[in-house]
Chains A and B, each alone.
Chain A
Amino acid sequence: EDQVTQSPEALRLQEGESSSLNCSYTVSGLRGLFWYRQDPGKGPEFLFTLYSAGEEKEKERLKATLTKKESFLHITAPKPEDSATYLCAVQATGNQFYFGTGTSLTVIP
C-alpha cells in the first residue's frame, strides 16, 4: 500500500537555527514528490516538485532533496515567517496524491 510518513510531527527552532524535515515513502512507481507549505486555515501552497533520485531544488532558505526512499526539506537560517506546516505528497502510478500528516514548524525570534 502506498504510504507517506513525515517526521518530526513538530519542530521548534530558534531563528537562524538550520534543520531538516523528513518525508519517507513507499509507493509503487513514483511519478513525483511534492512539497507544500500550509498556513493555518489556508490551502497548501506549492513549493517544489522532485521527479528522480538525486534531484535537488532550492528556493530562498529552502532546499529539497530526493532519494529512492525519502526526501528532505532543508531549512537554512530560518526566520519566524517560515513558521507553517510543511506537507509532503507523492504521486504514484495513478493521478492521486498521497499526503503525509505534515511537520509543524515554529521558528522563535
Chain B
Amino acid sequence: DTGVSQDPRHKITKRGQNVTFRCDPISEHNRLYWYRQTLGQGPEFLTYFQNEAQLEKSRLLSDRFSAERPKGSFSTLEIQRTEQGDSAMYLCASSFPPGETQYFGPGTRLLVL
C-alpha cells in the first residue's frame, strides 16, 4: 500500500514538552497539507507545501507550531511547549496536480496532559 503514512499514530505528552510528527506522502505527490481535527469538527487547515516550499500557513497556526519538508518528500510538524488545547488529531494529506483531490493519512492523535 503506497498511501499517505503518519508516525506516530498516538502520542501522549505532558504540558510544556515538545512533540514532532512525521508524514510520508504518496510518492509522486508534490503537494502536502497539514490539518488539525478536534472531536465533532471537520479538519482545519494548518499549512501547505508545494515540493519543499511552504506556501501557505493558517492564521490559526501559532508561533509554537513549525513545519518542514526539507527535500520535498516527507514532512515534519513540530509543536513546542505543548498546551492542553493542542490535544487533537493531526492529519496529513497529499495531492498531485492537475487533480486537486487530497488523500489523507491515518492521522496522529495527540493527548496533552
Q: Does B110 contact A (CB under 8 A)?
A: no
Question: Is B107 an interface residue, CB under 8 A from the partner?
Answer: yes
Contacting pair A46 B106 (CB below 8 A) = no
Chain A residues whose C-beta falls within 8 Å of the C-beta of B93 in the assembled complex: 43
Judge if B101 is at the interface, Cβ distance under 8 Å: yes
Q: Which residues from A are CB-within-8-Å of B31?
A: 95
- Produce 1/0 per residue, A10-45, CB < 8 A to B: 000000000000000000000110101000011111
Majority secondary structure of chain A interface residues (helix, strand, loop or mixed): strand
Is B28 at the interface (CB under 8 A from chain A)? no
Interface residues of B in 5-54 (CB under 8 A from A): 6, 31, 33, 40-45, 48
CA distance A34 to B55 in the complex (A): 22
Residue of A nearest to B41 (CB): A101
- Determine whether A94 belongs to the interface, using a CB cutoff of 8 Å to chain B: yes
On chain A, the number of residues with a Cβ less than 8 Å from chain B's Cβ atoms is 24
Please tell me if the beta carbons of A101 and B42 are within 8 angstroms of each other in the complex: yes
B5: shortest Cβ distance to chain A, in Å?
10
A99 and B42 contacting across the interface, CB-CB below 8 Å? yes
- With both beta carbons as reference points, the residue of chain B lying nearest to A88 in the complex is identified as B42
In angstroms, how far is the closest chain A Cβ from the Cβ of B99? 8
Which 3 A-B residue pairs are closest in the complex by CB-CB distance?
A99-B42, A43-B104, A44-B104
Residues of chain A having any CB pair with chain B under 8 Å: 4, 31-32, 34, 36, 41-46, 49, 87, 89, 91, 94-102
Interface pairs (28), CB distance under 8 Å:
A31-B100, A32-B101, A34-B102, A42-B107, A43-B93, A43-B106, A43-B107, A44-B91, A46-B101, A46-B104, A49-B100, A87-B42, A87-B43, A91-B100, A95-B48, A95-B55, A96-B56, A96-B58, A97-B33, A97-B43, A97-B102, A98-B45, A99-B42, A99-B43, A100-B42, A101-B41, A101-B42, A102-B42
